[in-house]
Amino acid sequence: MLVAPSVLSADFGNLQRDVEEICNSGCDLVHVDVMDGHFVPNLTIGPVVVSAIAKAATKPLDIHLMVENNTFFVELFAPLKPHYISFHIEEEKHPHRLIQKIRSLGIKPAIVLNPHTPPEAVEYLLKDLDMVLLMSVNPGFGGQSFIDNVIPKAFKLNEMRNKINPNCLIEVDGGVNDKNIQLLKNAGVDVVVAGSYVFKHKDKAQAIQSLQI
């Protein structure tokens, strides 16, 4: 299991220190939550702060867009060369076109599904995707509790991607901790995002390791 700590739970007064700390504690990716105050009822960070994160990070960036105008934000963040950019299918009229655009910029495209969105929504996109991110909370805030309908959904998506594109990873985001990690592993999940669990733990390396099962 790969682990992507979410910087949303970092101390923004000590952002460089916190990003360096998770990278030195064995994380696999650095998860960056971009919220625009429209698609979700919260507003986070833009390219100025994300570029400071990119400078401090020694692990690849995983940018999660929670915004209304996906294409605008893809173009805004592409110069920072993140490893992944994921966008919500609920907010995109032309997901196939945007996948192609992200790939043409040299970035791995990923699609995010809200808790109510069925995995079939990405069936005909799977062969063009590097990752599907399943939300296990309603997007907008860290520290919420895990919505467990993501487990049967991950099982179903795992079957679909094994048939259509075994290279496409499954990521889960929201309320992940050492109590639900085994269920996620059993369901075929490859990557977990963990914000409050990692940043509230007294030993971040130990927290990350407890999820790398």
- Least Cα distance to 49 among 27, 34, 69, 59 occurs for 34
Q: Report yes or no: 130 and 109 within 8 Å, Cβ to Cβ.
A: yes
Binding of ligand DX5 by 171 (CB under 6 A): no
Residue 99 vs 137, nearer CB to ligand DX5: 137
List the x/- string, 26-45, binding to Zn ion by CB under 5 A.
-------x------------
Q: Catalytic residue numbers? A: 33, 173
Examine residue 64 and tell whether it contacts ligand DX5 (CB under 6 A).
yes
The least distance separating Zn ion from the CB of residue 64, rounded to whole angstroms, comes to 4
Interface of this chain with Zn ion, residues 57 to 96, rule: CB under 5 A: 64
- In angstroms, rounded to a whole number, what is the distance separating the alpha carbons of residues 138 and 114? 7
Rule CB under 6 A: say whether 137 interacts with ligand DX5. Answer: yes
Which residue carries 């390396």 as its tokens? 205
Cα–Cα dist 79/100, whole Å: 17
In the list 78, 139, 172, 204, the residue contacting ligand DX5 (rule: CB under 6 A) is 139
Sign, Cα dihedral of 111, 96, 155, 68: positive
| Token digits of residue 68 | 């209304």
Q: Which residues would be at the binding site for ligand DX5 (CB under 6 A)?
A: 6, 8-9, 31, 33, 64, 137, 139-144, 173-176, 193-197
